């Protein structure tokens, strides 16, 4: 999660801190959980019952492939959830 994929020239909201799988990750107000995870290099978000890795597919809340646990609430869509300071995200892999 050390890779930073954000475009430096883009303006952002206030920097905030969240945790992903117990690891601190930098986020910016206004970003979705999916955007933060992608920028941090975290792509597999869950696994199918057969063990196949799944990640975001549609990015607009229709496919439900990006489900994560947010603040101990399971099955939240990462692409539709806006980050908040202190948020705890748990991927399902």
**41 pLDDT exceeds 70?**
yes
Task: Give pLDDT tens digits for 22-33.
Answer: 999 999 999 999
Confidence at residue 5, expressed as pLDDT on a 0 to 100 scale: 67
The average confidence (pLDDT) of the chain is: 90
Identify the sign of the CA torsion 43, 47, 31, 28: negative
The residue among 57, 18, 62 whose CA lies nearest residue 40 is 18
Task: Decide if 74 contacts 81 (C-beta within 8 A).
Answer: no
Query: What 3-state DSSP class applies to 45?
Result: coil
The answer on pLDDT for 74 being more than 90 is: yes
In this prediction the pTM is: 0.86
pLDDT of residue 2: 44
User: Which domains are seen in the chain, by residue range?
Assistant: 15-90 (3.10.20.440)
Q: Which of 37, 51, 50 is nearest to 93 (CA)?
A: 51
């Amino acid at each position: 999660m050390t890779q930073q994929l954000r475009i430096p020239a883009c303006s952002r909201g206030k920097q905030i801190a969240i945790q992903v799988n117990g690891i601190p990750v930098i986020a910016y107000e206004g970003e979705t959980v999916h955007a933060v995870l992608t920028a941090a290099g975290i792509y597999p978000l869950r696994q199918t019952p057969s063990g196949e890795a799944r990640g975001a597919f549609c990015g607009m809340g229709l496919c439900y492939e990006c489900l994560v646990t947010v603040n101990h609430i399971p099955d939240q869509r990462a692409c539709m959830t806006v980050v908040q300071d202190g948020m705890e995200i748990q991927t399902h892999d």
